[in-house]
Amino acid sequence: MARGKADEAEVKSEVRAHGRPTEPTLAAVDALEVDSIVLGLCSDVRPLGGLMAMVDWRLCGRLSHAIEAGTITGAVGEKILFPTGGRLAVPRLFIYGWGPHVHAKNHGAELLKGMVDMLDKARVKKVAFALPEPARPLLYLMDDVEKVLGHRLGVLFSPDPISPL
């Protein structure tokens, strides 16, 4: 189904909205106007969900293939700069490992700090940000994300609504 100019403008304004997380959709990914996307990844959560799944779709499954091959594991502190190959308007994709989901729930603030430190070292100017799925148990970190990234936060993505709790 073709999207009209009004639909595209609505998505862009939704993606830029601060104060409320943006739903992870293909339209939202396509409308991003940031220099980087950063995704949290738990080592024991498959299939991919949320923004990670949308980005993987746009990359024709390259993230899934890298995970299946063991190139990307989601181990605690793993830092990946993944090439987008022009398949996204965003030139840089960062993936940060959060380890097993239980570890992520118990050490969220520490892991968030590691994620932000990675972005600082890469001199990210404007970022689209997503916590690892399932992110609902990590929602307590949403305010912290906004505080630590400040003006560099272009879009904060909400948890995938179909992810298990």
* Within a domain: 93: yes
Which tens digits make up the pLDDT trace of 102-126?
Answer: 999 999 999 999 999 999 999 999 9
* Within a domain: 127: yes
First to last CA, the chain: 32
How much is the pLDDT for 64?
A: 97
How much is the pLDDT for 24?
A: 95
How many domains is the chain partitioned into structurally? Answer: 1
* Within a domain: 14: no
User: Which structural domain range is residue 93 located in?
Assistant: 26-156
pLDDT greater than 60 at residue 97 = yes
* Within a domain: 6: no
Which tens digits make up the pLDDT trace of 26-70?
Answer: 999 999 999 999 999 999 999 999 999 999 999 999 999 999 999
Q: 54 CB contacts (<8 Å, ≥6 apart)?
A: 24, 25, 26, 28, 29
Which tens digits make up the pLDDT trace of 128-151?
Answer: 999 999 998 899 999 999 999 999
* Within a domain: 30: yes
In this structure, what CATH number is given to the domain that contains residue 115?
A: 3.40.220.10
